[in-house]
Structure 1
Amino acid sequence: MSNLHPQLLQRLHAAVGAAGLVLDDAAKAPYESDWLRKWNGRSSIVVRPADTAQTAAVMGICHDTHTPVVTQGGNTGMSGGATPDASGAQVVLSTQRLNRIRSVDPLNNTLTCEAGVLLAHIQAAAQEVDRFFPLSLGSEGSCTIGGNLATNAGGIAVLRYGNARELALGLEVVLPDGRVWHGLRALRKDNTGYDLRDLFIGSEGTLGVITAAVLKLSPRPVARATAWVGARDIAALVQLLARLRADCGERLVAFEMLSAPSLALILEQVSEVRAPLAGEHAFHALIELADTQGEGLAALLERSLEAALENACVQDVALSVSGAQTQALWKIREGISQAQMRAGKAVKHDIALPISALAAFVQQADAALQAAQPGVRIINFGHLGDGNLHYNVLLPRDTPPEALAAATARFNRIVHDLVAEAQGSISAEHGVGQLRRDELRHYKSEVEFDLMMRVKQSLDPNQIMNPGKLI
């Protein structure tokens, strides 16, 4: 406790009670490392406020004592944005006890909940009133909506419904000095000044603590049509995407891409999956339509894919004819993270590009990486429908830490320079955190970075909010 203000523990205990503090080393351990075990730190105190008032009291105390705060939800992030440093001087503020769904309004198509509610619980609450909350991630059973909003999470339904930013109408936020912004407005139109909501969404806990949100619900789809296709290259899949958008409109909810090496890795490492197509294809796509009216949906997808086959956009197609087949196809796509962890050490790139630039980028990046390290294993997959690639390089499991660090720096510069040339983003949906913090300064313009710093200084003058992350 020597690194902390002498009265801090006493004041925090008065604010949240014994139930709101975690002080035992073994009990604190899960809060001090990310789920990938890539980032590890130490916190002398983990604080778990039970409501917004307690959260405000905690932030007021930390502001007064200049104590740095790391806000943490489900701790499922991919960029080290919710892990304390090694100093022991940072307090972890966990939102786990902020876990109430406050209201559901099916007529207004909104749901108001606290930041610590699990994403899967929000989806279930929407379904209970015959509505649909479309944000969907592999970690939805353990990630929280506060973390989803803080990182502007994406997932598999962005193509139709947008990122987390598009799914939130209002926020409640505790500011660094303990004041509360009550912005829980369930409105589609509100032209009364600056959009403060969008300052906090995607800010990764550097500007305040999101404690609650009004979320946008949609009509619940009652029918789905799913297919797996094989294609010769990315350009062919981009053509197919354009055709499906024209033919199917907003019914197109997912267009997931896997390169042949990515599919091979999954088949090698994940049990109870098999190749959907008999032939060899350089790229694959998992496509899904959804609608509130089921009649004709499968026929619509079949007609569009038949035309794509005739025009050579794709080489082969497998249409799902049952719920079990659909689940089997999605199990393949969802197995990629597990496959990479089992097979080696991945240098990961979560990038976004204009869809029209994807084919040229992949060709250039593949060539540049092979020139830098012949035979390198590129695992390229992602949400092709919204231009988000997880363009990773897989190294052997026994790669020494120093070699991994050197390879990461070398590969990052190759990939991210090409992304910048294509007017893309080096962080599409995972956030910046610690992983991309230094690179962000390299790729942001001086004006843009200065504006971000001015916002940070205005809201957090004591610089206590998630230091060492994002900026």
Structure 2
Amino acid sequence: MNAVLNTVLQARAALVERLGQDAVLTDPADQARYCRDWHGDVASGTVAVIRPRSTEDVSKAMRACAELGLAVVPQGGNTGLVLGGIPDQPDHQVIISLERMNRVRRIDEDDFSAVVEAGCIVANIKEAVDAHGMLFPLGFGAEGSAQIGGSVGTNAGGINVLRYGMTRELVLGLEVVLPDGSIWDGLTTLRKDNRGISLRQLFIGAEGTLGIVTAVALKLLPRPTQVETALLGVASLHDAIALYRRARRDCCDLMTAFEFMPPEAFMLAIEAQPDLKMPIAGDYPAYVLMEVSGSGLVDIKTLLDQFLENVLEDGMVQDGVVAASRAQGINLWRFREGMNEGQAMRGVHLRTDVSVSLSTMAEFVERTLFVLKQAFPDSLSIAYGHVGDGNAHINVLPPASADIAERQRILYVGKNLINELVYEYQGSISAEHGIGRLKRPEFEQKLAPAHKALLVAIRKAIDPEGRMNPGCQVLAD
């Protein structure tokens, strides 16, 4: 134990000497917030937290870590849900936090692009480009804390995927510091660049296992000048999906979001935000939160009004409310975001992020909830998510009386039950959160040999010493 401690202390001293006291946090008290996961369920430690201010600083830090034999865990806003940014070997790993690299380098209105540093908060990017009359459409609950570098590393999804795609579709170019400290400058904003393999795609979704993203060239779009939001009550998830099919045809690519929520979502949201009031009269088996947006000469309000009139006449919707203003629309979205806060308030619980084909989604969700109810009759099992892209979050909230041992049992058994059904429906155990350390065992368990061989070959080619975020995603054994 003393030998390990001495090694850690020596490594900390060496990092401070090479990188400067300002760049390195060595006090465990100062490191604590970087070593806890987003929900506070898991806490770890680290040799040091390095906070560079420039790409050159990151390069210098990577070389120093290589010389000292230290592994590196890149970290953005630390809002991930699969432990991708939390060390699992505290005595051998350092965290490199990009939080100080938060400059918007360039916004080009003619090119509809922006170049930003990896530590920029997603919400701040959206605000900056909005001032130029443009939109960066990536949107999710943690966007006020999440950094764009982490969003790229995890290929973040969110509520607008059905119209704009995952982060992968919004990235034009990258700047990356490789494991040996060299810098790859791929910050092009070209839409068409067919010069062989697209290297940027290797780093998107790699969760820091191949290098550290230090800057991102982003694709922007015209800012919508009209946004219409509706909350609709429907008879079932089957009806919600039928409604989505109709909306996809009638509203075309102007539909921005289409979320389904169970009745329990409103209860959980109000528990977290007591000022919220139920926006729709009556109690329905399922709800849809739908948004349509556009700009220019398109009349979005008339489009949505006509659509809703038609589906009400056809009996596809039982009741609904349309936001009278943008402020009211934002208030409707508070229920979707507050639901997650309400779950967190109930303590340790099972959170999943799975996807199946849209044609089987309703059947899959119903079967899964039935299986969970049979296994955990005293727990609250809920399903919600993004209808347009087949992504469901199926969570299990143990009863308040459950101790930590019982909660851990529910997490373990429940996850396996859900995963087996996901495999049966040929879906994915990670729709948008990534693999990280949390999902690695089940990811590797079902990985086809050829698939694993390709992943290992890429990782070994770029990081032959295995120093980049070890323990995350697939192991290069």
**Post-superposition offset of 1:169:** 0.5
Structure 1 residues 269, 21: CA separation in 2 closer, same or farther (over 3 Å shift)? closer
The 3-state SS of whatever aligns with 1:205 is coil
C-alpha distance after superposition, 1:346-380 (max 9, x if no partner)? 20111112111111101211222122233531121
Q: Does 1:377 align with 2:377?
A: no
Farther off after superposition, 293-302 or 9-18: 9-18
**Post-superposition offset of 1:418:** 1.1
**Maintained 8 Å contact 1:4/1:89:** no
Aligned residues: 471
Structure 1 residues 401, 449: CA separation in 2 closer, same or farther (over 3 Å shift)? farther
Distance 1:103 1:31 in 2: 29
| TM value normalised by structure 1 | 0.96
Structure 1 residues 282, 344: CA separation in 2 closer, same or farther (over 3 Å shift)? farther
**Post-superposition offset of 1:115:** 0.6
What is the CA RMSD across the aligned residues, in angstroms? 1.8
Q: Alignment partner for residue 174 of structure 1, among 162, 174, 177? A: 177
Unaligned regions of 5+ residues in structure 1, if any? none
The 3-state SS of whatever aligns with 1:366 is helix
Distance 2:18 2:297 in 1: 53
Q: Alignment partner for residue 303 of structure 2, among 297, 300, 305? A: 300
C-alpha distance after superposition, 1:40-76 (max 9, x if no partner)? 1111211111111111111122223321111111111
- What is the correspondence of 1:7-86 to structure 2 with a 5 Å cutoff? 8-9=11-12, 11-85=14-88
The 3-state SS of whatever aligns with 1:97 is coil
1:289 matched to which residue of 2?
292
Q: Alignment partner for residue 228 of structure 1, among 226, 231, 235? A: 231
Q: Does 1:335 align with 2:338?
A: yes
Distance 1:212 1:409 in 2: 38
Farther off after superposition, 118-127 or 264-273: 264-273
Q: Alignment partner for residue 93 of structure 1, among 92, 96, 109? A: 96
Structure 1 residues 56, 314: CA separation in 2 closer, same or farther (over 3 Å shift)? same
2:325 matched to which residue of 1?
322
| TM value normalised by structure 2 | 0.95
Q: Does 1:197 align with 2:200?
A: yes
Distance 2:140 2:115 in 1: 20
Farther off after superposition, 295-304 or 179-188: 295-304
Distance 2:33 2:375 in 1: 38
Distance 2:376 2:382 in 1: 15
Q: % of aligned pairs identical?
A: 39
Farther off after superposition, 267-276 or 118-127: 267-276
Letter in 2 for 1:418: L
Q: Does 1:187 align with 2:179?
A: no
**Post-superposition offset of 1:2:** 3.6
**Maintained 8 Å contact 1:222/1:294:** no
1:459 matched to which residue of 2?
462
Q: Does 1:362 align with 2:390?
A: no
Letter in 2 for 1:29: A
**Maintained 8 Å contact 2:73/2:85:** yes
Q: Alignment partner for residue 270 of structure 1, among 273, 277, 281? A: 273
The 3-state SS of whatever aligns with 2:348 is strand
**Maintained 8 Å contact 1:5/1:65:** no
Distance 2:43 2:271 in 1: 30
Q: Does 1:441 align with 2:444?
A: yes
Distance 2:49 2:74 in 1: 10
C-alpha distance after superposition, 1:273-301 (max 9, x if no partner)? 12222222111011011101375311211
**Maintained 8 Å contact 2:28/2:45:** no
The 3-state SS of whatever aligns with 1:212 is strand
Distance 1:294 1:19 in 2: 53
Letter in 1 for 2:95: V
The 3-state SS of whatever aligns with 1:143 is coil
C-alpha distance after superposition, 1:247-290 (max 9, x if no partner)? 11111001111012223332344312122222221110110111
Farther off after superposition, 82-91 or 148-157: 82-91
C-alpha distance after superposition, 1:393-451 (max 9, x if no partner)? 11124422222222112111111111122221111111211221111112322221222
1:351 matched to which residue of 2?
354
Q: Alignment partner for residue 411 of structure 1, among 386, 391, 414? A: 414
The 3-state SS of whatever aligns with 2:349 is strand
**Maintained 8 Å contact 2:354/2:428:** yes
Letter in 1 for 2:194: N
